[in-house]
């Protein structure tokens, strides 16, 4: 087989890039290790910035998002029993975010790929990139008993944190920066009406972080921080609702509608960046190159800016014979990635209980929140990062 751009990973990054390239007449093949059902079963992001939404529209898959996604002009932070609204719209001069699940947008991207006849190969086993350091790279994978080779001009690693792309780069050609947090997020999806119109981020001094989010008016998504040693089996639904309820500010506690969980999972929290995001003719994008703790809702949105830069760079290469975008890709993408890292780290520090933190550290954390609530300048900084810095 031969294609222009070989993409490893059929998550949001890989699908979005292949769809955008297709619309510009550039050929690609997406190799995905899992089945389509498996990819669509992953419950992850819920908050999109407008830059991401614009890419969805440019990729001609934004109709359902525009119809069913909810525009959110603000969210609450609850601390010490009271709630403070972060007025995203007012603080950013009219900006907001869109609440639309990653599952839904991945489904839209798959449908977009189907409609155009895009090549997405599922259950591709043992995918390997080769020859990235010369002019004719290729991919190999197994499908059943068949071993298949795809020659291409470029390889794009969109295969998430545990993917093969980044791991295929020689150790002396890449630097990895990492911070692991001493807790995880236990997430529950339930077919119940959300507790409030907008998201509520909670820091409870005694129990720690909580988050009330949603997917629709009938589907709620909640999180609480939990020890890294816990597993889903440690958390019955009753135990979860009790833990969440304890963190809720008193004035909304009565609005919580509980029900059976339809999904429950624990995600460890990690900050990670690999530099540079390129090795020869292979470029990394999205979670393959960097991840953030989900507290600032930046992960998918950071992936979107990588795809935006790569898409334009590849179009310039194929349509204008101009490689400046490709040459500048890593540097340009990383500049924005690090801002998302800083913000996610800051939000995580602001809102979680750190088991080993001293009294001094806890007082600083309290003061950071008190300062935030009292300072419009501090709220503006939060708001402009949350809605997404310009691409």
> Which residues contribute to the site for ligand RFL (CB under 6 A)?
8-14, 31-34, 39, 44-47, 102, 124, 127, 158-160, 162-164, 185, 187, 267, 286-287, 294, 297-301, 303
Locate 75 and state its tokens: 């969210």
What's the angle, vertex CA 136, arms to CA 133 and CA 137, rounded to 5? 65
Which residues in the 216-245 window bind ligand PHB by CB under 6 A?
A: 221
| From the list ligand PHB, ligand RFL, none, partner contacted by residue 221 (C-beta under 5 to 8 A by kind) | ligand PHB
For residue 2, give the DSSP letter.
B
385: left (phi over 0), alpha (psi -120 to 50) or beta: alpha
Residue 12 touches which of ligand RFL, ligand PHB, none (CB < 5 to 8 A by kind)? Answer: ligand RFL
Q: Which is nearer to ligand PHB, 100 or 308 (CB)?
A: 100
Which residues partner with 121 through β-bridges?
Answer: 31
**Which helix (H) or strand (E) element contains residue 176?**
strand 175-190
Whole-angstrom CA distances from 181 to 118, 227, 344 are: 39, 10, 12
Local structure of 377: helix, strand or coil = helix
Select the binding partner of residue 287 from ligand PHB, ligand RFL, none (C-beta < 5 to 8 A, by kind): ligand RFL
Q: Is 213 in the site for ligand PHB (CB under 6 A)?
A: yes
Task: Find the helix or strand (DSSP H, E) in which 66 lies.
Answer: helix 63-68
CA-closest candidate to residue 220, choices 248, 180, 251: 248
Is residue 184 within 8 Å of 228, Cβ to Cβ? yes
With CB cut-offs between 5 and 8 Å by kind, which of ligand PHB, ligand RFL, none does residue 295 bind?
Answer: ligand PHB
One of 6, 10, 46, 210 touching ligand PHB (CB under 6 A): 46
The phi and psi torsions of 293 (rounded to 5 degrees) equal -65, 145
Q: Which is nearer to ligand PHB, 248 or 277 (CB)?
A: 248
Residue 12 in contact with ligand PHB, rule: CB under 6 A = no
d(C-alpha 60, C-alpha 23), whole Å: 9
Question: What is the DSSP secondary-structure string of 352-378?
Answer: S--TT--HHHHHHHHHHHHHHHH-HHH
Q: Which is nearer to ligand RFL, 153 or 287 (CB)?
A: 287
Based on CB atoms, which residue is closest to ligand RFL, 124 or 248?
124
Q: Which is nearer to ligand RFL, 294 or 325 (CB)?
A: 294
Residue 47 touching ligand PHB (CB under 6 A)? yes
Sheet holding 146-151, edge to edge: 125-130, 138-143, 146-151
Choose the contact partner of 9 out of ligand PHB, ligand RFL, none; CB within 5 to 8 A by kind: ligand RFL
Residues 274-303 that bind ligand PHB (CB under 6 A): 294-295, 297
Binding mask 168-187 toward ligand PHB (x if CB under 6 A, else -) reads --------------------
The binding site for ligand PHB (CB under 6 A) comprises 45-47, 213, 221, 294-295, 297
């Amino acid at each position: 087989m031969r294609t222009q751009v070989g993409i490893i990973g059929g998550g949001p990054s890989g699908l979005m890039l292949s769809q955008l390239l297709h619309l510009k007449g550039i050929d690609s093949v997406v190799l995905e290790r899992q089945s389509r059902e498996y990819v669509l079963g992953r419950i992850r992001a819920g908050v999109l910035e407008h830059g991401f939404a614009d890419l969805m529209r440019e990729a001609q898959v934004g109709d359902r998002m525009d119809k069913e996604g909810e525009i959110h002009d603000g969210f609450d932070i609850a601390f010490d029993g009271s709630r403070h609204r972060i007025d995203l719209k007012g603080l950013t001069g009219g900006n907001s975010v869109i609440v639309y699940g990653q599952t839904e947008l991945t489904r839209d991207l798959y449908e977009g790929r189907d409609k155009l006849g895009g090549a997405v190969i599922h259950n591709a086993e043992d995918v390997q990139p080769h020859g990235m350091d010369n002019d004719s790279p290729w991919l190999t994978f197994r499908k059943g008993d068949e071993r298949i080779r795809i020659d291409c001009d470029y390889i794009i690693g969109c295969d998430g944190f545990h993917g093969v792309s980044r791991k295929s780069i020689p150790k002396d050609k890449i630097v990895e920066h990492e911070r692991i947090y001493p807790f995880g997020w236990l997430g529950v999806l339930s077919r119940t009406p959300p507790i409030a119109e907008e998201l509520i981020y909670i820091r409870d001094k005694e129990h720690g972080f909580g988050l009330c989010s949603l997917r629709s008016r009938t589907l709620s998504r909640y999180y609480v921080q939990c020890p890294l040693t816990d597993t889903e089996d440690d958390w019955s639904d009753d135990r979860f609702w009790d833990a969440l309820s304890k963190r809720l500010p008193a004035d909304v506690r009565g609005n919580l509608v509980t029900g059976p969980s339809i999904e429950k999972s624990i995600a460890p929290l990690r900050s990670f960046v690999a530099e540079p995001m390129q090795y020869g003719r292979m470029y990394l994008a999205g979670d393959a190159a960097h991840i953030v703790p989900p507290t600032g809702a930046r992960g998918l949105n950071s992936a979107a800016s990588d795809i935006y830069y790569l898409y334009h760079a590849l179009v310039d290469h194929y349509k204008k014979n101009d490689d400046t975008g490709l040459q500048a890709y890593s540097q340009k993408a990383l500049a924005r990635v690090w801002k998302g890292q800083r913000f996610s780290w800051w939000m995580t520090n602001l809102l979680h209980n750190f088991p080993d933190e001293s009294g001094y550290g806890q007082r600083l954390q309290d003061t950071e929140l008190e300062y935030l609530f009292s300072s419009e300048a501090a709220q503006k900084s939060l708001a402009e990062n949350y809605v997404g810095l310009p691409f």
